[in-house]
Structure 1
Amino acid sequence: MASDHSFHLFTSIRYDPLLLKSAENSLPILNYVSPSPFYMLIYHRDRMLEAAQHFDFHAVTQRLEHGESLHQELLQEVGEYLHRGGHDGPLKMRILFDKAANITIDFAPTPPVPLSTLYPASFDPPRPEPTPHPANPDPPTFLPSPLTGGALILGPTDAFHSNPPSEPPPPPEYHLRLDTQPTPTSAFTLLKTTVREQYDAARSRALPTNPAGAPYSEVILYNSTHELTEGTLTTIYVFRGGRWVTPPVGVPAGEFTAQTLKDVEGESADLDEGELRKPFAGRWGHSVRSAKVGAGGQRGTSRRWALKKGFCMEEPISVNTVEVGEGVWISSGVRGFAFGRVVE
């Protein structure tokens, strides 16, 4: 295990002025201030706080107690970044804490996406290509109306828009490849820290190519018991048994007890399992509560939102069920939700 001074706790969050128009992002379960340009800030704060509790970063725990103060501090940091001539648009903010609660924020431009990518209305099952009817095997051909003179002519200022001009297009389809080796579960696969060697190794050995570019390529990880866990940078959702499922994340070894999932300070708790509990917050999921430790992936913020919306369920997923060509949803706290397919 890394020493206390050799790693930082961190989270990567999206800053996007477009989020100021989102009613969902303004909900009090997602942000301390409404409207907010930060994507699910409360969920990011919660998982940083959980990591601080686990690794005994006591100063970080104290610093994260007041959510509105965190919002204002981040907003000030963005203002200073823009004042220095930084990119004026969507940003990836990488927020790091050392054990003394010193904060470092790295900024990087991130591609614009529509609100429907950050907050989709649903997870639609993958649709196969339509099968032509035997009596009409060829797709219909466009036949212009005689009223147009037999042709459709666009003027120099005419155009068709598949998306409203005020919103950017959705991201391209991702390519995903199953890793060739298991990634052992540890506190560093459950909680977000700068200990990232296991993810770098997976990407170096299995990252697929994608014509849309490397940012749209991902590796699907699995643990030593051959259950899927996550992507190297994303949460994964696969279609099984007529519904979308995501791997259960579990808790660090030695911190899971039956009481953890049943009670909060001695009271019965019919709550979102992402709500903070001491010494640990539970599984960040809505599936049947049990003594099973999860597969071992990260406690994703967008994953927590998807579970709470009922778009998916927690369920163990065997490596042997993954098929080339199948559709997979992925999500992250920076890029939102996107669709991809498994490649060889």
Structure 2
Amino acid sequence: MPSEMSFQLFTSLRYDPQLLTSDENSWDVLNFVSPSPFYMLRYHRDRMLEAAQHFDFHEVAKRLENGKALHNDLIHHVNQWAEKGGQDEALKLRLLFDKDANLEVDISVVPPVPLETLYPPSFEPPSAASAPHPAKAFKPSPLTGGALSLGPTDTLSPQGQPSTWLVRLDKAATPSTPFTLLKTTHRDFYDTSRARALPKNPTTPAFAEVMLFNECNELTEGTMTSLYLFRGGRWITPPVGVPTGEFTSSTLKTSESGEDHCDEGELRKPFAGRWGHSVRSAKVGAGGQRGTTRRWALKKGMCMEEPVSVDTVQVGENVWVSNGVRGFGYGKVVE
């Protein structure tokens, strides 16, 4: 298993021919080539670049400067897949870079989903039939991306029926380190969390998720998704962040008097496009991954960043989750 001394940088993204028909996916802030069959490739590049800068993978950072070249490299790998008998269908591409900038691409088939699952028009509010939550007492915010009350013709999910997830809260904290913030092959803490919180024989393993939390008892992310919860009349997602210097769990707990920490999303060498401002930037976020779909949802105004205490999580409440391969899914917190 990769250690903190030996690891690769990676990201997993979706290749899908139907994305060539998506106006949203053709947006120049999401892709380097238009139209593109890659799901938010520019955001994946940005995330890998940030990790390369943080961990001093200098050759990787140089290679990632050319986004169109990355697009062409991935097209080449997909074409090679097809030449070996693969079909032109939805695929998961797992990109791995070693410190010398050698690129390895693992390809596997993934289930088809409608475009509305990849780019939902809004986050629908929790069902009125769900257990009441204190957050519902607050006035709705226009930043939710949609109406906050269900009418007789409204549905719980947007068009396309997003996948239903069963979500459990972890039983112990996951210490915050650069490896919980930046995507590398050093990820045993995710396996530990899933082994700790999920039943040994889950009925729906493909859509079972665990919510991680840090030493401050604040949610950070899921083991393979970004999290969105309904609080204060709006959808919120836990803040993230990477400081320019050292990041340890103590960064979350303390703040030196008078010291102005870099706000969330700050890079050693910033480029255009921010991850969204954290309301608690002085503590550099909660400590989760900087999800690509999360970044899109923030940019579209469908959610806001805000700390989420584990004490507010209730069994039966509805949540949204998302990642760069499966898109967005709707779920429920279970025991």
Q: Give the alignment's TM-score, normalised by structure 1.
A: 0.80
In the alignment, structure 1 residue 302 sits paired with structure 2 residue 293? yes
Could you say which residue in structure 1 is the equivalent of 2:141?
A: none
Larger Rg: 1
Matches within 5 A, 1:46-65: 46-65=46-65
User: Higher mean Cα deviation, 238-247 or 84-93?
Assistant: 84-93
Whole-angstrom CA distance in 2 between matches of 1:115 and 1:96 = 27
Q: Deviations over 1:6-65 (max 9, x none)?
A: 100000000000101100000000001000000000000000000000000000001001
Query: Aligned pairs, how many?
Result: 294
Could you say which residue in structure 1 is the equivalent of 2:186?
A: 195
Equivalent AA in structure 1 for residue 327 of structure 2: G
Offset, 1:286: 3.6
Offset, 1:85: 1.1
User: Relative to 1, partners in 2 of residues 1:3 and 1:241: Cα closer, same or farther, differing over 3 Å?
Assistant: closer
2:283 aligned counterpart, secondary structure: coil
In the alignment, structure 1 residue 82 sits paired with structure 2 residue 72? no
User: Relative to 1, partners in 2 of residues 1:277 and 1:295: Cα closer, same or farther, differing over 3 Å?
Assistant: closer
Q: Deviations over 1:199-227 (max 9, x none)?
A: 0000111125654x211100000011100
In the alignment, structure 1 residue 339 sits paired with structure 2 residue 327? no
Q: Deviations over 1:48-107 (max 9, x none)?
A: 000000000000001001101110110111000111112431011000000000010111
Offset, 1:287: 4.2
1:74 aligned counterpart, secondary structure: helix
Unaligned ranges ≥5, structure 1: 131-167, 262-272
In the alignment, structure 1 residue 35 sits paired with structure 2 residue 12? no
Question: Quick one: percent identity of the two aligned structures?
Answer: 62
Equivalent AA in structure 1 for residue 268 of structure 2: K
> Contact (CA 8 Å) 2:7, 2:98: kept in 1 or not?
yes
Whole-angstrom CA distance in 2 between matches of 1:307 and 1:90 = 25
Q: Deviations over 1:322-344 (max 9, x none)?
A: 00000000000000001000000
User: Relative to 1, partners in 2 of residues 1:325 and 1:210: Cα closer, same or farther, differing over 3 Å?
Assistant: farther
Matches within 5 A, 1:284-323: 284-288=275-279, 290-323=281-314
Whole-angstrom CA distance in 1 between matches of 2:245 and 2:274 = 14
User: Relative to 1, partners in 2 of residues 1:197 and 1:290: Cα closer, same or farther, differing over 3 Å?
Assistant: closer
In the alignment, structure 1 residue 278 sits paired with structure 2 residue 278? no
> Contact (CA 8 Å) 1:329, 1:339: kept in 2 or not?
yes
Equivalent AA in structure 1 for residue 67 of structure 2: G
Runs of 4+ aligned residues of structure 1 deviating over 3 Å after TM superposition are 1-4, 168-172, 208-211, 255-261, 279-283, 286-290
User: Relative to 1, partners in 2 of residues 1:228 and 1:82: Cα closer, same or farther, differing over 3 Å?
Assistant: same
Unaligned ranges ≥5, structure 2: 131-158, 248-258
Offset, 1:284: 1.7
In the alignment, structure 1 residue 112 sits paired with structure 2 residue 112? yes
User: Relative to 1, partners in 2 of residues 1:178 and 1:259: Cα closer, same or farther, differing over 3 Å?
Assistant: closer
2:282 aligned counterpart, secondary structure: coil
In the alignment, structure 1 residue 180 sits paired with structure 2 residue 171? yes
Equivalent AA in structure 2 for residue 337 of structure 1: F
Equivalent AA in structure 2 for residue 336 of structure 1: G
Could you say which residue in structure 2 is the equivalent of 1:215?
A: 206
Could you say which residue in structure 1 is the equivalent of 2:237?
A: 246
Offset, 1:180: 0.4
Equivalent AA in structure 2 for residue 94 of structure 1: R
Offset, 1:292: 2.3
Equivalent AA in structure 2 for residue 299 of structure 1: R
Whole-angstrom CA distance in 1 between matches of 2:118 and 2:54 = 29
Equivalent AA in structure 2 for residue 78 of structure 1: V
Whole-angstrom CA distance in 2 between matches of 1:88 and 1:54 = 36
Offset, 1:124: 1.2
Offset, 1:252: 4.7
Whole-angstrom CA distance in 2 between matches of 1:252 and 1:196 = 20
Whole-angstrom CA distance in 2 between matches of 1:80 and 1:127 = 46
Could you say which residue in structure 1 is the equivalent of 2:219?
A: 228
Whole-angstrom CA distance in 1 between matches of 2:196 and 2:30 = 36
Q: Deviations over 1:286-332 (max 9, x none)?
A: 44474221110001000000000000010000000000000000000
> Contact (CA 8 Å) 1:223, 1:296: kept in 2 or not?
yes
Whole-angstrom CA distance in 1 between matches of 2:61 and 2:246 = 18
> Contact (CA 8 Å) 1:60, 1:100: kept in 2 or not?
yes
Could you say which residue in structure 1 is the equivalent of 2:255?
A: none
> Contact (CA 8 Å) 2:10, 2:184: kept in 1 or not?
yes
Equivalent AA in structure 2 for residue 49 of structure 1: L
Offset, 1:250: 1.7
